[in-house]
Structure 1
Amino acid sequence: MKTLLQKIQTKTATVGVIGLGYVGLPLAVEKAKAGFYVTGFDIQPQKVSLVNRGENYIGDIIPQELKDLVASGHLKATSDFEDIGKCDVIAICVPTPLDVFKQPDLSFVVSSAQSVADHLHKEMLVVLESTTYPGTTEEVLLPLFEEKGLKVGKDFYLAFSPERVDPGNHLYKTKNTPKVVGGCTDACTQHAKALYEAVLNAPVFAVSSPKEAEMTKILENTFRIVNCALANEMALVCNRMGINVWEVINAAATKPFGFVPFYPGPGVGGHCIPIDPFFLTYKARAYDYHTRLIEMAGEINDLMPEHVVERLMNLLNDQAKPLKNSSILLCGIAYKGDIDDLRESPALKIWQLLEQKGAIVTYTDPYCPEVLLNGEKVLSSPLMQELVQKADAVVITTAHKENVDYKLIADNAKLIFDTKNILSQSLNIRPETLENLHIL
């Protein structure tokens, strides 16, 4: 009889992935492409049905690959968590949001872990991929599993491996992004490392324990939130001083060492940057330490939507027009260019602030045909000459590089507030060459 390690190495292990979202489904697809038989688990029947019909809903997945994997039987989905017991390997890829007090909500992780614990058996590997604070794997998951009378590192294996999904990245996908793994014991690390080496076309780096792996993800995104905040603060200062911050950053980026360019914007979005660092802020309090730099960076980034609205109000005021009852067209509603992801999008926050001040807001986004705002479904308006001409101001809130006619906006808008400097990139238009153009 084969051991679990042998099953992983020969790709005969049955793999389960809990959570079929931006992280889980691409991971399930890659594992199935590697030759494993994979079952995806999700509490949302719609996702389960879509997967079982071979219909893709995640931008980074090639639709035909998903269809072929389902047709071959290498990938299926279910809402029946009883099937966890049939799996040799389980990856947990569920959301870990923050509550209104910026404290981690681990309810999805705990619920998933409990489902695994209910069906835990000998020779089983469980890997948590959901971003969380250091200590979660050993302090939250491990006790649930060991209550079943099994010994970690001997009877079953438990590890943490942070997801590194970057939606819309055309160079790095799940398949070729290096992986980090940290197990509760050396044997746990060995099994987790073997799993990802059997799936990925990228190096797999082992660290001493789950805590190091958990902290790795926090450090990666803390680096980003702090540098985003620095870029945003530079934008605020440069605006007051009449300096083009984009030109400054591009000039600084010519230095071949000691500088990494980050660019300002209307705020930060997605699941990673605005959320992940605050897992550390939460955990650090237990050690009587306050992560002041992270908290200040979060404050600066959180203020950017308000800054955008204030700037727009002043720009309209210069034209003797109040923001109240003005028609504002938001160009781009996704948090990042050329994707359909709305998670934590600053454009949504700007929209709400504008409506609170009485503005009449419409939006156009080729990647997001509809959006739920304040419980109501709102449809994207097609980007046409009449739509632009009717607007008192066009605010570019997402830097889509494709499928947006920026020349139409430049030629027809009364007022353009480009918070992403995309007109300069796409049309080589600078504010001094277009009287009605203003940048962040």
Structure 2
Amino acid sequence: MSDNYFEKLLDSIQHKSARVGVIGLGYVGLPLAVTTAKRGFPVTGFDVAPDKIEKLEESNSYIEAVASGDLQALNASDSVDWTTDFAELSKCGVIVICVPTPLTKYREPDLSFVRQTAEVIAEHVAPGSLVVLESTTYPGTTVEVLKPIIASSGHGVGSSVFLGFSPEREDPGNASYRTATIPKIVAGDGKEAGALVQAFYENVVDKVVPVSTTQTAEAVKIAENVFRAVNIALVNELKVIFDAMGIDVWEVIDGASTKPFGFMPFYPGPGLGGHCIPIDPFYLTWRARELELSTKFIELAGEINTDMPHYVVTRLREVLDRECGIGLSRAKILVVGIAYKKNVSDMRESPSMRLMEILKGYGAHVEFLDPHVPEVPPMRDYPDLVGLRSIDTKDLEHSTFDAVLISTDHDNVDYSALLELGVPVIDTRNAIARRGLSLDNVTKA
């Protein structure tokens, strides 16, 4: 029977007749669903949020990586369905899980979304199906967490239902690489599952990179993000040291980047943001503790990156005291850019929110300017900031601020207008210098 289910599913994947269910229509799931449909598969997108489904049915995209025009074309061709009805999973030959994997307040893995999703799949999955986890997690999750739950369906895992892991590698705002063009790491729980996962993604993306086990695939994604987190922590520490020496860390990095080997540029900032780099390393440290192993290097990097907002605020306080003669409690501060990276609206783990929280804690009056984020959306960690609205650039000339803090360097910000305010500018992204503007009143931090 194993060969029968395997061969039938493989054939339906190769002929693109297998319906693909994508669970979680956020920054990872929605681009995957649209890409899969554009490559010729029938797709059903699942989400627990009715407002998302309503927008998708109306062809209104809420993510920069997906054009509303693409939604309109797919909806018109009946290539996709959008639903909150998870009973429709029974019609799917391939099910891909793209749900969040956040941290608890104690910086431990929160796999509740994965577990809940797996339980729903176990309730509805049909024999002859492939279930793939894309959510970033610690090595071992697919076989230790997902597999037992799917097995509770009564279907034989590895014989009638197959499991795989393929880590998402989305980079919001990156116009050079999209879902279809980013090489895809794939692995299955067993030989047949591996063949199915590889066959599916070979029909969706341009390049597939198979690895031996799901644990290896999970470790690949963790390694990628630990690498970035540690190197960003290194340049953040260098920034603090070089600032104390009166040396411009940005010039140092530019100079070092001319070496054609042995150096890769990373850039400092006000902290770490996004859905991966601030979170994923702690999945590995948690897993290592279970094995009675230490991760001193990773944890030190986390401490450095977490402390950066406090360092930036300290620099701001020094400038206000030296140049304005006022403290934070009497200061009116404009924070420029509150998305976690430039040219996107993504607010996940944005260090700008922590900066604003610290400033308000000192009694400062804080406003923000962000052309991509008109209003602070509901957030679990910053309820007091929810609903705060961005000022408009055209209102700058009628506004009075004591200092400007550039936290995210969006391209469509009028930096000249910021300088014309004539107040100190604290630039955490080297945005002013990179545009060749005057550095009078500008402090790099």
Please classify the TM superposition score into its range, dividing by the shorter chain length.
Answer: over 0.9
SS class of match (1:40): strand
Question: 1:94, 1:39 → 2: CA distance?
Answer: 15
Query: What is the Cα deviation at residue 119 of structure 1?
Result: 1.4
Question: 1:352, 1:100 → 2: CA distance?
Answer: 17
Query: What is the Cα deviation at residue 424 of structure 1?
Result: 1.2
Question: 1:233, 1:258 → 2: CA distance?
Answer: 20
Aligned to 1:422: 431
Give the aligned length. 434
For the pair 1:255 / 2:265, whether they are aligned, the reply is: no
Aligned to 1:38: 43
Question: 1:125, 1:194 → 2: CA distance?
Answer: 11
Normalised TM-score (structure 1): 0.96
Equivalent residues of 2:397, 2:421 under 8 A apart: no
SS class of match (1:438): strand
> 1:47-126 to 2 correspondence within 5 Å?
47-126=52-131
- Which residue among 307, 313, 328 is the counterpart of 2:317? 313
Aligned to 1:300: 304
Relative to structure 1, the CA distance from residue 192 to residue 388 in structure 2 (aligned partners, 3 Å threshold; closer, same or farther) is farther
Aligned to 1:135: 140
Aligned to 1:246: 250
Identity percentage over the alignment?
A: 48
Q: Which amino acid aligns with 2:172?
A: P
Query: What is the Cα deviation at residue 388 of structure 1?
Result: 7.6
Deviates more, 1:60-69 or 1:94-103: 60-69
Aligned to 1:396: 406
Equivalent residues of 1:232, 1:265 under 8 A apart: yes
Query: What is the Cα deviation at residue 80 of structure 1?
Result: 0.7
- Which residue among 288, 294, 297 is the counterpart of 1:290? 294
Normalised TM-score (structure 2): 0.95
Equivalent residues of 2:432, 2:439 under 8 A apart: no
SS class of match (1:384): helix
> 1:355-366 to 2 correspondence within 5 Å?
355-366=360-371
Equivalent residues of 1:391, 1:413 under 8 A apart: no
Aligned to 2:414: 405
Question: 2:48, 2:399 → 1: CA distance?
Answer: 45
Q: Which amino acid aligns with 2:248?
A: N
Question: 2:365, 2:196 → 1: CA distance?
Answer: 56
- Which residue among 201, 224, 241 is the counterpart of 1:196? 201
Deviates more, 1:382-391 or 1:108-117: 382-391
Q: Which amino acid aligns with 2:362?
A: K
> 1:337-356 to 2 correspondence within 5 Å?
337-356=342-361
Q: Which amino acid aligns with 1:184?
A: D
Runs of 4+ in 1 over 6 A off after TM superposition: none
Equivalent residues of 2:53, 2:83 under 8 A apart: yes
Aligned to 1:151: 156
Query: What is the Cα deviation at residue 374 of structure 1?
Result: 2.3
Question: 1:57, 1:9 → 2: CA distance?
Answer: 31
Query: What is the Cα deviation at residue 57 of structure 1?
Result: 0.6
Question: 2:80, 2:156 → 1: CA distance?
Answer: 30
Question: 1:388, 1:130 → 2: CA distance?
Answer: 46
Query: What is the Cα deviation at residue 323 of structure 1?
Result: 1.3
Query: What is the Cα deviation at residue 385 of structure 1?
Result: 6.1
- 1:45-97 alpha-carbon deviations (Å, 9 max, x no partner): 00111111111011111221111111111112111111111111100000000
Deviates more, 1:389-398 or 1:222-231: 389-398
- 1:2-50 alpha-carbon deviations (Å, 9 max, x no partner): 7110100010001100000000000000110011110111000001111
Equivalent residues of 1:180, 1:205 under 8 A apart: yes
Question: 1:288, 1:358 → 2: CA distance?
Answer: 43
Aligned to 1:29: 34
- Which residue among 10, 14, 33 is the counterpart of 1:9? 14
Aligned to 2:232: 228
- Which residue among 204, 217, 220 is the counterpart of 1:216? 220
Equivalent residues of 2:396, 2:417 under 8 A apart: no
Deviates more, 1:55-64 or 1:220-229: 55-64
- 1:326-371 alpha-carbon deviations (Å, 9 max, x no partner): 1100011101000000110001100000000010000010000000
CA RMSD of aligned residues (A): 1.3
Deviates more, 1:144-153 or 1:227-236: 144-153
SS class of match (1:361): strand
Equivalent residues of 2:335, 2:369 under 8 A apart: yes
Which blocks of at least 5 consecutive residues in structure 1 are unaligned? none
Question: 2:262, 2:289 → 1: CA distance?
Answer: 32
SS class of match (1:152): coil
Equivalent residues of 1:388, 1:413 under 8 A apart: no
Deviates more, 1:52-61 or 1:371-380: 371-380
Equivalent residues of 1:152, 1:185 under 8 A apart: no
Equivalent residues of 1:84, 1:119 under 8 A apart: yes
Question: 2:345, 2:397 → 1: CA distance?
Answer: 22
Equivalent residues of 1:388, 1:409 under 8 A apart: no
Equivalent residues of 1:385, 1:408 under 8 A apart: no
- 1:73-128 alpha-carbon deviations (Å, 9 max, x no partner): 11121111111111111000000000111001000000000111111222100000
Question: 1:136, 1:322 → 2: CA distance?
Answer: 49
SS class of match (1:412): coil
Question: 1:374, 1:150 → 2: CA distance?
Answer: 43
Question: 1:413, 1:384 → 2: CA distance?
Answer: 16
Q: Which amino acid aligns with 1:425?
A: R
